């Protein structure tokens, strides 16, 4: 699948098929980003190729510029979650996250999944907007401490 900006989305089946050494989602005011990048690299090597785990990447001519990981629940196969969706900081606002997520939803639908969930920080305008556009049901996720204000939304996209 090719996006208008010259970026192609593909699903990878083995860690050898992707090089994330240059993947960078760090931007100003994103001190967490190095941890996210490290977690993505670790997840790729640990989980790619395992049953129920899908890794989609978006590549431009030179490098991987977007990553999405999706897991299908082994206990409830009608459900899947997307724990990772990140786009390289220099490639944002070009529809890459939208293309990755749309592609992942198509993969999920083909597998018979009927609901795909993700968690989004309350201040992540980009992801909340994208989930809204994709028809997600967005609800506050209760925090472990019942008195604490909630920090995240649970977004559920129903397929079917
Ligand atoms: C969130 C993220 C993945 C979006 O990637 P992206 O490729 O820039 O997103 P897209 O270009 O596909 O944008 C999709 C829609 O999101 C919204 N959006 C994107 N960036 C936005 C921003 N900075 N502010 C508000 N809305 C935004 C827009 O509605 C956009 O559609 P439009 O451009 O047609 O209006 C990217 O900003 C990122 O990697 N952030 C850090 C990691 C992260 O927060 N991941 C999500 C964890 S739940």
Ligand 1 pocket test target in 97, 105, 122, 156 with most atoms within 8 Å of CB: 97
Q: Which CATH number fits domain 2-158: 3.40.50.720, 3.60.9.10, 3.40.630.30, 3.40.50.300?
A: 3.40.630.30
**Interatomic CA distance for residues 35 and 8, integer angstroms:** 26
Q: What is the pLDDT of residue 16?
A: 85
Tell how far the Cα of 119 is from the centroid of ligand 1, in angstroms: 14
Q: What is the DSSP string of 44-98?
A: HHHHTTSTTEEEEEEE-SSSEEEEEEEEE-SSSTTEEEEEEEEE-GGGTTSSHHH
103 contact partners, CB below 8 Å, separation of at least 6: 1, 9, 11, 56, 68
CB 84 within 8 A of CB 58: no
Q: Looking at ligand 1, which atom is closest to the CA of residue 27?
A: 41
Q: Which residue minimizes the CA distance to atom 29 of ligand 1?
A: 129
pLDDT digits (tens, 9 = 90+) for 65-111: 999 999 999 999 999 999 999 998 889 999 999 999 999 999 999 99
pLDDT digits (tens, 9 = 90+) for 33-61: 777 778 888 888 888 888 999 999 999 98
Least confident of 27-41, 83-97, 112-126, 141-155: 27-41
Domain-by-domain residue ranges, the chain? 2-158
């Amino acid at each position: 699948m090719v996006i208008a900006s010259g970026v192609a989305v593909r699903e990878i089946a083995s860690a050898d098929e992707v090089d994330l050494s240059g993947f960078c989602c760090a931007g100003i005011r994103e001190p967490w980003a190095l941890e996210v990048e490290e977690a993505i690299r670790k997840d790729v090597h640990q989980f790619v190729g395992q049953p129920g785990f899908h890794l989609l990447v978006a590549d431009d001519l030179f490098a991987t510029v977007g990553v999405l990981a999706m897991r299908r629940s082994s206990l409830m196969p009608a459900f899947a979650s997307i724990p990772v969706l990140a786009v390289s900081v220099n490639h944002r606002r070009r529809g890459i996250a939208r293309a990755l997520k749309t592609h992942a939803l198509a993969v999920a639908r083909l597998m018979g999944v009927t609901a795909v969930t993700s968690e989004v920080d309350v201040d992540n305008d980009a992801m909340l907007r994208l989930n809204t556009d994709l028809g997600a049901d967005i609800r506050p996720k209760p925090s472990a401490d019942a008195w604490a204000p909630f920090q995240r939304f649970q977004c559920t996209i129903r397929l079917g």
